[in-house]
Amino acid sequence: MKVRKPPLRSCLGCGREADKRELVRFVRTQDGEVHVDPSGKLNGRGGYVCATMQCFEAAVRKKRFATALHANLREDDVERLRREFEHTLST
Ligand SMILES: [Zn+2]
């Protein structure tokens, strides 16, 4: 049996590469909004962050969402995403 290599993605916060199932996906949907995508199945440009607040905050601070998702996050978008992300971590 051939073992399939898990698809690796790098975290927007710390840059570490990990199996995408260990990371939380963010996606920019068609309407230009950025959402947390726990299913990993939403269509759109996506980016991954480790399942820790530190990496989320680092990604925000380094403006990695703007680079990776081509989305300009306003302060209230960041607030909303932070809540969505926290919710995802707690479930
Ligand atoms: Zn990370």
Cα-to-centroid distance, 19 and ligand 1 (Å): 12
Cα-to-centroid distance, 15 and ligand 1 (Å): 6
The answer as to whether 60 is a domain residue is yes
User: Alpha-carbon distance 82 to 30, whole Å?
Assistant: 21
CATH classification of the domain holding 24: 3.30.1230.10
The answer as to whether 4 is a domain residue is no
Burial classification of residue 1, based on how many CB atoms lie within 10 Å of its CB (0-12 exposed, 13-18 middle, 19 or more buried): exposed
User: Alpha-carbon distance 49 to 52, whole Å?
Assistant: 8
Name the domain count of the chain.
1
The answer as to whether 19 is a domain residue is yes
The answer as to whether 1 is a domain residue is no
Cα-to-centroid distance, 52 and ligand 1 (Å): 7
User: Tens of pLDDT along 5-43?
Assistant: 778 999 999 999 999 999 999 999 988 899 999 999 999
Cα-to-centroid distance, 29 and ligand 1 (Å): 22
pTM: 0.89
Cα-to-centroid distance, 5 and ligand 1 (Å): 20
Cα-to-centroid distance, 48 and ligand 1 (Å): 9
Contact at 8 Å (CB) between 58 and 14? yes
Contact at 8 Å (CB) between 48 and 26? yes
What is the pLDDT, as a whole number, of residue 87? 96
